[in-house]
Structure 1
Amino acid sequence: MDRGPVRAMAAAGALALAMTLVGAAGAPPGEAAAPDRRSVPPDTPSEDAATFLGLPAATEYRCTVSEILEPSCGVWWGASPYENRVEQLEQAADRDMDIVYTWRGIDQADIPGRRERSMAAEGKFVHTNIEARRFTRPGHPAVSYASIADGEFDEQLRSQARGIAELGVPYFVTFDHEADANRRYNKRGTPEEFVASWRHIVDLYRAEGADNAIWVWNVTGWEANLDRLPGLWPGNDYVDWISWEAYNMSTCDAQPNWTETHSFEEALRPAYDWIQTEGPAHGIDPDKPVMIGEMGTTDIGPRETLEWYSEIPDVLRRYERVRAVKMWDNELTPGCDFRIGANEYAQRGFQLAGQDPYVRLPERVRRLAEDAARRD
């Protein structure tokens, strides 16, 4: 199937570049990891980085950034920032976000809007979740999947597609995230109707020339919901990245039945293992890149909260298909707060994690991704 000009770049070498990236992505495959990677500056010359890590100088391996923005040498780091204020989050995190999550409605024609365009101009990757809800109406009421598949919102969707195409840079798009969640599953339509609406949107975007749209299928990843995933799968030709959440919600007053504390790895693992072992039987390609669409923990104590975040890069090194992670910097209720700025230990842990070379890819790697938009 012709995937458009951006995806066609894979044939030209998937934006491959032989680079000396010890300092950018930790030890090459097969090498032991060093204990103090976090303090290696992201653009440290390779020989200095190798010396710091105790590895042979000028250790090289090939790093690529694919046509769908999958890096082979680390993980993109991002967030859904509190009150859309990414600058405030970046100041607290002491680094820029690679990806910023935005939330829009199916009835909004102005996607990308001013904010998304501004962030793209700054070099950030934008990921927009398009909800099956009317954001132009009070209360953002839900709409049915059937109405979307039947073309009720085609005018708005075509406008979105043209806007993304005109932006001229790779742009992550999700339709109605967490369709497997109890509050949504079989509420806006059947799984079959979700799939039909997803495919309708993708086909429409492609017809309007939005080949730079990168399609991210997002689910909760909760173990109890895994048996719902096969029916919600749109098909390999309609999905570029697979995404789910990795939360700990113990102590959250909005989740009274959540009694155990889950580490980041424990939250990530069930869906990862399911995709790798059960996915192929349901037509899901386990080699697609994975994005942790949202993650975070409630306050579980000073040391525990700090470690929950600071251990993330080492966990990611053990799950090679994960190539992007986004923090959900927000709150459900005053007793269920995930905001980095509201907890000094969460902030410090997030800072430590964000400085790790594995999730702080250097500028030269980003330039590979930006080149994708300019090649035909």
Structure 2
Amino acid sequence: MGRRTGRAHRHPRTTALREFELKTGRPQAIYHAYHRGTEVFPTAEEIAIVRDPRTPRLLFLNWKPQGVSWARIAAGDPATDAYLDRLAAHLRTNFPEQFFFTVHHEPEDDVRPEPGSGYTADDYAAMFRHVVTRLRDAGATGIVATLVHMAYVPWNVQPWFPDLYPGDDVVDWIAWDAYAYSDPGYGHGDFAELMNRRSGQHPSWPGFYNWAAARYPDKPLMLSEWGVWHSDRNPGHKAEFYRSVGNQMRLFPRVKAMVYFDTPRNQQGYDSRVDSSPFALVAYRTLGRQAQFQVDVRPR
């Protein structure tokens, strides 16, 4: 299990991580952070987090380009290539360890399928391939390239959706982001519903886990973001959901990592904190003690 943090978090990242580990009663195996534009990463703080000798962790870094289209990056945009070369040099010198890495996670929201838009699904696949290949060719060999999907059924059934895939040689893991809702309606249910969310309007869609397990039989799968939104009208659901994770995890053996998104308020005002109620916190801490979540991330 792991924890996600974003740029908007008001606390220093180390503080936020320690607070989360304190309230959940366990260390996190993965630390997930987000960067954009021409930021060079990992930062000194992120390196210290994963090299902590008391609690070694794996790093998951998410990069989103800015100010340049997918198509231009794929074609070798000089400014982006110069940045990627600087980034690779930084990684060679300061962080040779393996780490999860993705480029523009959840691209589905930004696809513009019109030819020449610069943001077609084919443009995304070519951009992802260019970024990963250039970094690796420049010596950033620790990259574990991870394709992160949105797992939103209306996007999953679009004719362009399969074209987002950059290719087996530049994708090591397949990941997706999914959230559960505590009020009846869309996204309400147990862990199995979250993993294989369906739609009555698109009955042919088998659910994301089923689709990914069949489509990528040789790739490890990850929930790169997951969480349960609190509801004052149904405050007990979050604890019920955490219990369902423990009961149903065995049904999804291809999932090798899960990263929880803990926030008091997302852009829509939803609260995913594991301690939004005392019952939820007890259930989450119980979940974290289960055998399948006891992992050793130290190098061998």
Q: Normalization by structure 1: what TM-score?
A: 0.66
Contact 2:222 2:256 (8 Å CA) reproduced: yes
Distance 1:222 1:262, change over 3 A: farther
Gaps of 5+ in 2: 197-206
Aligned to 1:3: none
Contact 2:187 2:193 (8 Å CA) reproduced: no
Contact 1:143 1:188 (8 Å CA) reproduced: no
- State the identity as a percent: 24
Cα deviation, 1:273-331, whole Å, max 9, x if unaligned, reads 11234x2xxxxx32200010111111243432112123323322211110000001122
Cα deviation, 1:164-198, whole Å, max 9, x if unaligned, reads 333121111000000113xx222861111111110
**Matching residue within 65, 73, 77 for 1:148:** 73
Cα deviation, 1:52-94, whole Å, max 9, x if unaligned, reads xxxxxxxxxxxxxxxxxxxxxxxxx101147231111111111
Gaps of 5+ in 1: 1-76, 134-141, 253-257, 280-284, 372-376
Where do 1:60-79 residues align within 5 Å?
77-79=1-3
Structure of larger gyration radius: 1
Aligned to 2:130: 200
1: CA distance between counterparts of 2:130 and 2:267? 36
Aligned to 2:290: 356
Contact 2:72 2:118 (8 Å CA) reproduced: no
Aligned to 2:4: 80
Distance 1:217 1:260, change over 3 A: closer
Distance 1:251 1:332, change over 3 A: farther
Look up the equivalent residue of 2:22 and give its one-letter code: Q
Contact 1:249 1:336 (8 Å CA) reproduced: no
Larger RCO, structures 1/2 (Cα 8 Å, 6+ apart) = 1
Look up the equivalent residue of 1:146 and give its one-letter code: A
1: CA distance between counterparts of 2:45 and 2:275? 22
Q: Normalization by structure 2: what TM-score?
A: 0.82
**Larger CA deviation: 161-170 vs 206-215:** 161-170
- Aligned with 1:267: secondary structure? helix
2:180 counterpart of 1:248: yes
2: CA distance between counterparts of 1:286 and 1:221? 18
- Aligned with 1:177: secondary structure? coil
Cα deviation, 1:16-51, whole Å, max 9, x if unaligned, reads xxxxxxxxxxxxxxxxxxxxxxxxxxxxxxxxxxxx
> What's the RMSD between the two structures over aligned residues?
2.2
Where do 1:1-376 residues align within 5 Å?
77-81=1-5, 83=9, 84=13, 85-108=16-39, 110-122=40-52, 123-133=56-66, 143-149=68-74, 150-151=76-77, 152-166=79-93, 167-181=95-109, 184-186=110-112, 189-227=119-157, 228-251=160-183, 259=186, 261-269=188-196, 270-277=207-214, 279=215, 285-300=216-231, 301-330=234-263, 331-333=265-267, 335-361=269-295, 365-367=296-298, 370-371=299-300
Cα deviation, 1:191-216, whole Å, max 9, x if unaligned, reads 11111110111111111111111011
1: CA distance between counterparts of 2:256 and 2:286? 18
Aligned length: 268
Distance 1:155 1:341, change over 3 A: farther
